[in-house]
Amino acid sequence: MKVLSKSLSALVFASFLLAGCTVKEVKPPNVMVILADDLGFSDLGCFGGEIKTPNLDQLASDGLRFTQFYNCGRCWPTRASLLTGYYPQQIGRDNAPGIKGGGGGERPEWAGLIPRSLKDAGYISYHSGKWHIDGMPVESGFDRSYYLGDQARFFSPKTHYKDDKKLPAVERGSGYYGTIEIADRAIDHLKEHKKNHPDKLFF
C-alpha cells in the first residue's frame, strides 16, 4: 500500500508540474514550392553544382531540402501528385496501361489541390508558371495566378491567363520572355501579399 501511495503522490506531483508548464505556440511556416522542368539533381549550388545559385542556395539553407524525393519523367503527373498528395495513377493523371486519363485526364472530385485545404488553415495561395493539371488555378483553390499555357512560344505566347482570365496574345519582338515573366509575376504576388496580407501565411 505504501508503494501505491508513493506512486500516486509522485503522479499527482508530476501532474501539478505539467499543469504549470506552457507549451510555446509554433507558428505554421510560409511555404514556397519551386518546380523546375529539366533541372538535374546536381545543377544547383546547394546540391554541389558548379553553377552559382546563391538565392536558391539561401532558400535551401533556410528551408527544407528534399534529398530522397523522386518525380515522374513527365511534368503533368509530377504536378498532379505534388499538388494533391496522391499518386498520379490514383487520380487519372498518368499514361499507364489500364489508366484512363494521362495529360488530359480529369481528377476525381475527392482529389482536391493543397491550396483548398490550406485555405482553412488561413493561407493565401499563389501560382505562377505552367499548370498542366485539369481545371484552372483559381477555380482549383489558388487565390491569385499567372498561368502560361503556351510553353512552345516562350517569346510570344498566345495562351496565358491572369486569375483564370485569358490575356491578350503577346506580339513577337515585344521583349517578353516566359521564364522572366513567370518569375516577375511570382515576385509581384509576394510583394502584394506583404502589402495586403502581412498577418497571413502564404503558399
Compute the distance between CA of residue 193 and CA of residue 195 in angstroms, rounded to an integer. Answer: 5
State the catalytic residues: 75, 132
Which element (helix H / strand E) includes 126?
strand 126-129
Report the distance separating Cα 94 and Cα 97, nearest Å: 9
H-run or E-run covering 181: helix 178-196
Strand partners, 80: none
Q: Say if strands 165-166 and 160-162 run parallel, antiparallel, or are unpaired.
A: antiparallel
Are the C-beta atoms of residues 148 and 127 closer than 8 Å to each other?
no
What cell was used for 62?
Answer: 533556410
- Evaluate whether 107 touches 84 at the Cβ level (below 8 Å): yes
| Cell (9 digits) for 34 | 519551386
